[in-house]
Amino acid sequence: MTVANDMSLFTLITGASLPVQLVMLILLITSLFSWWYIFIKVATIKRAEAESENFENAFWTGGDLNKLYEGVTAGRRKPQGMASIFEAGFKEFIRHKQQAKMEISDVMEGSRRAMRAAYNRELDDLDAHLPFLASVGSVSPYIGLFGTVWGIMNAFRGLSNVAQATLSQVAPGIAEALVATAIGLFAAIPAVIAYNRFASSVDRLSVRYESFMEEFTNILQRKS
Amino acid sequence: MIRKHENSDSWKAGIYAIVVHLALLAGMLISFNWKAAHPVLNVTEVELWDKLPAAKPVIKEEPKPEPKPEIKEEPKPEPKPVVEEKPKPEEPKVDIELEKKKKELEQKEKLLEEKRRKDEALEKLKQEAREDELREKKAAEKAKHDEALRKLKEDMLNESGADDTKAASAANASLIGEYTEKIKAKIRGNVNKTLCGDGNPELRFEISVLPTGQLSGSPRLIKSSDNSTCDEAVERAIIASEPLPLPDEPNLKAQFKNLKLKFRPND
């Protein structure tokens, strides 16, 4: 009877069969990427929320819109979030106003379209990586399960040659195989949690952007 | 993969991600006991082995204190008067100092020699007494052993096993009994008792042990405990106990070809 006394994590991983090792490697890489994206998204969403907060404060203090527009476009980097929507809408509005012959409704329509385009671009940036997190959350448990099933199949196939089946003959194989499921769950759980959290944050931001668009259209209409 | 506006965060996020994974790895390495729990089995083995050799030290300890007091009381009063009586009458006969001195020296030598002789006699007496005691003790022990063995034999080797053991001498029988107990103790250490329930099931196995201590063939179940998991647990324990302890004499090893073992795992 061979009894594997050494059950350290590394012997479990190196002792696993090649498909199981491949599964573990894939899961490790996806886990690394999903955590990377999670941290990136935490930072970007936090920044987008802070920026829209600042911009709303500046916008509703009732200053001159031209000054605000100059302040937004003066910065070296492209305006982000709500500021970029404001910039697109106001730029279109000014441009149409300079051509004096335009109807008011056409001017408003043009600036709305410009704001809608900017809004879509912003939302696309906010939504980035969320599909990846969603698919990691739903698929990586299955990948881990595949590795486990494969490993257990191997463990039991080795058992068929032995007359006296004991638990200690299958235990190391099953332990090896279960490492794959553990890694899969470790990748999936944070991905699912992060996906849900980010999705709700992005929803809230998009609602905020949309209501700003409506309010800004009203202001422009009054101005014209 | 990475958007333009995310560039500033990507490095930080990557480092955080790696830190999280390292933390998880460290947590797994620290919190799990990755060594398999086999030492537990060995511990139970040791505990059970302690019971068997306990019979021997009891024999050795008892004889030592007893013979000494007995022997010291008897011989000492005898020799001392003999030594003192002899030299006293000789001293007054001698006139010359030189002769006195010579005689004194001679006497001293004689005394020493006599002491030596007495010591030797004492030791002989002691040894004889000790040997007698030991013999008596051993005889008593053997008688006890034999009776215990006879009972064991009656219990365990009801049918065919009795024929084999009848042929063996009493000494051999005691050895066989001793090693049968050792084998049972070793197997008992490997039985997973939780599989046998709460009651006190009894099961019998017949095994044949090769002279190397290995099993030839698998153990045969003669009497089941009506609990198949318990039967299997004991069978696995028998296989796990290889090599089984055997006496050194080759002719005794042959006695273990057909060994019937009775188990009460919950005893």
| Chain B interface mutation, best of A40, A159, A181, A198, highest count of B Cβ atoms under 10 Å | A40
Does the structure show a pLDDT above 60 at A151?
Answer: yes
Beta carbons of A35 and B21 less than 8 Å apart: yes
Neighbours of A36 (CB within 10 A): 22
pLDDT confidence of residue A141: 95
Does the structure show a pLDDT above 70 at B49?
Answer: no
Q: Which residue from B minimizes the CA distance to A43?
A: B9
Neighbours of A35 (CB within 10 A): 25
Does the structure show a pLDDT above 70 at B36?
Answer: no
Classified as helix, coil or strand, B263 is strand
Predicted complex ipTM exceeds 0.90: no
Phi and psi angles of residue B259, each rounded to the nearest 5 degrees, phi first: -115, 125
Distances (CA, A) of A15 to A12, A27, A202: 5, 17, 44
Average pLDDT estimate for A179-207: 94
Q: What global pTM score does this model have?
A: 0.52
Query: Which of the residue ranges A192-196, B11-15, B93-97, B110-114 would you say has the lowest mean pLDDT?
Result: B93-97
CB of A44 within 8 Å of a chain B CB? The answer is yes
pLDDT confidence of residue A211: 94
The residues that bridge with B71 in the sheet, in sequence order, are: none
Residue B32: list chain A partners with CB under 8 A.
Answer: 9
| Chain B interface mutation, best of A39, A44, A186, highest count of B Cβ atoms under 10 Å | A39
* B179-217 tens-digit pLDDT: 888 888 888 888 877 777 777 778 888 888 887 878 877
pLDDT confidence of residue B48: 62
Element (H, E) at A206: helix A167-223
pLDDT confidence of residue B91: 52
Strand-by-strand arrangement of the B259-263 sheet: B220-223, B203-207, B259-263
